[in-house]
Amino acid sequence: MKVAIKQSGGYAGEVKDLLQLDTAQIEPSVSQQLERIIRDAKFFDLPAVVQGDVGADFLRYEITVTDNGRQHTVSFQDDGGPKTAAMKKLLESLFKLRG
């Protein structure tokens, strides 16, 4: 399984690659955590865009997961609202794995 996270938007509007994890290249315990996080989030069942509140200068995140020949990308804007709270939690869980 591979996970990639990109960030865009904000005041500067830059696009940044924030995280790349590959279960084939990380410790088995971290790999298991990563797979559990993605499975528990039902990532492959999420819509391509998780809509939050509309606003300017919010950071936008794009999470792409590739696993066993399938790939899914979900994007959301970090507006701090309840509609995107689950995605923010997923993002924070993935960042904790990078160590």
Nearest Cα neighbor of 84 from 47, 33, 37 is 47
Q: Is 52 exposed, middle or buried (0-12, 13-18, 19+ CB in 10 A)?
A: buried
Q: Read off the pLDDT of residues 12-59 as tens digits, 9 standing for 90 and up.
A: 778 999 999 999 999 999 999 999 999 999 999 999 999 887 766 789
Q: What is the pLDDT of residue 56?
A: 67
Q: What is the pLDDT of residue 70?
A: 97
Q: What is the pLDDT of residue 41?
A: 95
What the block records as the tokens of 69 is 């020949």
Asked if 64 and 73 count as a contact pair (C-beta separation under 8 A), the reply is yes
Report phi then psi at 31, rounded to 5: -60, -45
